[in-house]
Amino acid sequence: MKVKKAIFVKSAVDSSGYPVDDLPEIAFAGRSNVGKSSLINTLLGMRLAVVSKSPGRTRTINFFKVDDAFYVVDLPGYGYAKVSRQVVGSWGEMIEGYIEGSLNLRGLVHIIDSRHEPSEGDKLMQDYLRHHGVPTVVVATKIDKLPRSKVRENVERITQALGLQESAEVIPFSALTRDGKRELGGAIASFLDSEDEQQNGAEFSR
């Protein structure tokens, strides 16, 4: 089945503002302007996350409830240079505070722009997630902007640059064509399935 209902619930800057209903959470993280909001909207099949041409627009942790079964958690983008160090620092604190403090985090979708080599921020984020043992899937966005012959090559380069095991799956994704939506939905379902949540959760069909 498709997602039947997804709603914005609230924004937060620290744990005092997180939802209190103990539903499992799937977080989405990536550098600014990587296509995170477009990916979330495509995955849910509705426009909930705000898409902006200006990088760095997500400045809080945003919670979306999906079919009353789990939360999609939109984390602030990292690595955007055209804001003050104070703002960048606050985003980092929010991301770290959430990842280390959430009791309901089941998995994280780490989003990389398929067109570019992973940044130092991307590599640090992947190292950080490994260090804290967060179940993670990497998604390479904007593949519609690449020649098809380049997609596999770029995905392999991302895999190597992030130090992923050869068996790790990097999912090529396009919000425009919806390529990769089913595969990403399957990865999310496997995160939720670890606590038998899949039977109550949503499936993501093309």
pLDDT for the residue 55: 46
Cβ contact 56:80 at 8 Å = yes
How confident is the model over 61-84, as pLDDT tens digits?
A: 999 999 999 999 999 888 654 443
Q: Are strands 70-74 and 61-66 parallel, antiparallel or unpaired?
A: antiparallel
Written as six digits, the tokens of 171 are: 């999912």
The number of residues making up the chain comes to 206
Strand partners, 28: 74, 109
Using the structure block, give the residue that is written with the tokens 């280390």: 100
Domains in the chain (CATH in brackets) are 7-198 (3.40.50.300)
Regions of the chain short of the pLDDT cut 50: 1, 54-56, 81-89, 197-201, 206
pLDDT for the residue 58: 52
Which residues, in sequence order, are CB contacts of 77 under 8 Å at separation 6+? 30, 31, 32, 33, 34, 36, 55, 56, 57, 58, 91
pLDDT for the residue 198: 40
pLDDT for the residue 87: 38
